Amino acid sequence: MASKRKKLPSPPSDHSKLFRFLKWSGGGVFALAAGMGLTAFLGWQTYTCPGPLSIDQDIVVPHGNYATTLSALQNTGIIPANWWSGRVFSIALVLTRGEGQLHAAELHFPASVSIKQTLWILRHGKPVQHKLTIPEGLTIWQIQALVQAAPLLTGDTPLPDEGSILPQTYTYLRNSPRKDLLAHMQASMTQMLKQIWAERESGLPLGSPQELLTLASVIEKETAMPDERPSVARVFYNRLQKNMKLQTDPTVIYAITQGKPPLDRPLTHADLQTASPYNTYIYTGLPPGPICSPGKAALEAAAHPAKGDMLYFVANGTGGHNFAATLSDHNHNVLLLRKQKASH
């Protein structure tokens, strides 16, 4: 009788092995997916949540590489100064590189700006514009001092010709050369004068745009009241046409000071005898050049004077002037002014 053999267990099938592998790996994939999802969620939250900047600030983003930019942003408190935020910024920078290059400039960042907003500003934000106002009626020495004292500019300020700067508010970028800003101011006056000269009233006794500029500078110094400037212009034109001396005090003051220090006293009788071509009490006609930088309103007044036959004007004691066509009327206005001063 044949002996019975012991039955060996059958090896597991390939399907059983595959099932157990999938069961194990599925848990690993799920865990990996969950971890990646959590990381992506935290990254997106870091990318879009408000940042630590407490107040609006203008920040200089320096030239360099992306690491230099990140360091500047973290040092100025725009992006949190930790590894995670820096990593999110760097990854977001790569993922959004199709939106444009980063720019090195002085840029404005609002309070609580996010990393997402920061990247937009770095790519599309306009550089910060600084402002400098040149008031009407300043001499070139005074304008030079203003430009030289303006912050965030580089280099020294050249001294251009008197009257060559148009008074207005100018904008400039940080680290712009002063000479370039001054050249822009001169170009503005050149353009403005060209336009006003082309549109001037016909028949004015002027031979060039420079003569209009010179007369406008005297008008600028004679009155600060816009509605009076055309009348002042008419007085000077009437005098020029009659070959009368202009006899305007601001030209004498310029003859004495050359536009440098202000004259901190009233003119004297001796001052009116100052030997200078700028002294319109001695010489007939316009002075040889401007005595200040006139604004647009004074230029327009010189190009479009008021109508009338007035030849004189004198202060009225209230900031304006009284105008007269005859010497007797002018003397009466002078007497009124003296009486008013005496009463005070």
Per the structure, how many domains does the chain have? 3
Which domain covers residue 288, as residue numbers?
A: 205-343
Q: Do both 119 and 134 map to the same domain?
A: no
Asked whether residue 94 is assigned to any structural domain, the reply reads yes
Quick one: which of 239, 254, 250 has its CA closest to 312? Answer: 239
Per the rule left: phi > 0, alpha: psi between -120 and 50, beta: everything else, 177 is beta
**pLDDT tens-digit profile of 163-184?**
999 999 999 999 999 999 999 9
Q: d(Cα 170, Cα 182) in Å, to the nearest integer?
A: 10
Does residue 322 sit within a domain? yes
Residues 312 and 231 in one domain: yes
Q: Among 88, 103, 124, identify where a domain stops.
A: 124
134/202 Cα distance (integer angstroms): 31
191: helix, strand or coil: helix
What is the average pLDDT across 246-259?
Answer: 95
Given 91, 124, 157, which residue is the final one in a domain?
Answer: 124
Within-domain flag for 216: yes
pLDDT digits (tens, 9 = 90+) for 271-296: 999 999 999 999 999 999 999 999 99
Domain boundary among 109, 124, 139: 124
* Residue pLDDT, tens place only, 309-333: 999 999 888 888 999 999 999 999 8
Q: What is the pLDDT of residues 85-94, one digit of tens each?
A: 999 999 999 9
Rounded Cα–Cα distance for residues 69 and 80 (Å): 14
Same domain, 106 and 141: no
H helix runs in the chain, sequence order: 14-48, 66-75, 83-95, 115-124, 140-149, 178-198, 209-222, 229-241, 249-257, 296-303, 327-343
249 and 270 both lie in a single domain? yes
Q: Are residues 287 and 212 in the same domain?
A: yes
Answer yes or no: do 98 and 223 share one domain.
no
Query: Are residues 150 and 62 located together in one domain of the fold?
Result: no
Domain-located, residue 193? no
Query: Do 209 and 304 share a domain, yes or no?
Result: yes
Judge if 74 and 156 occupy the same domain. no
- Is this prediction's pTM over 0.85? no
pLDDT of residue 87: 94
Any idea which of 16-20, 99-103, 142-146, 311-315 has the lowest mean pLDDT?
16-20
Residue 28 inside a domain? The answer is no
pLDDT value for 1 = 45
Residues 226 and 330 in one domain: yes
**Taking a C-beta distance cutoff of 8 angstroms, is the pair 292, 137 a contact?**
yes
Residues 179 and 212 placed together within one structural domain of the fold: no
| Residue-level pLDDT at 93 | 93
Question: 13 lies in a domain?
Answer: no
**pLDDT single digits (tens) 5-61:** 555 455 555 555 555 554 555 555 555 566 667 777 788 999 999 999 999 999 999
Are residues 177 and 224 both part of a single domain?
Answer: no
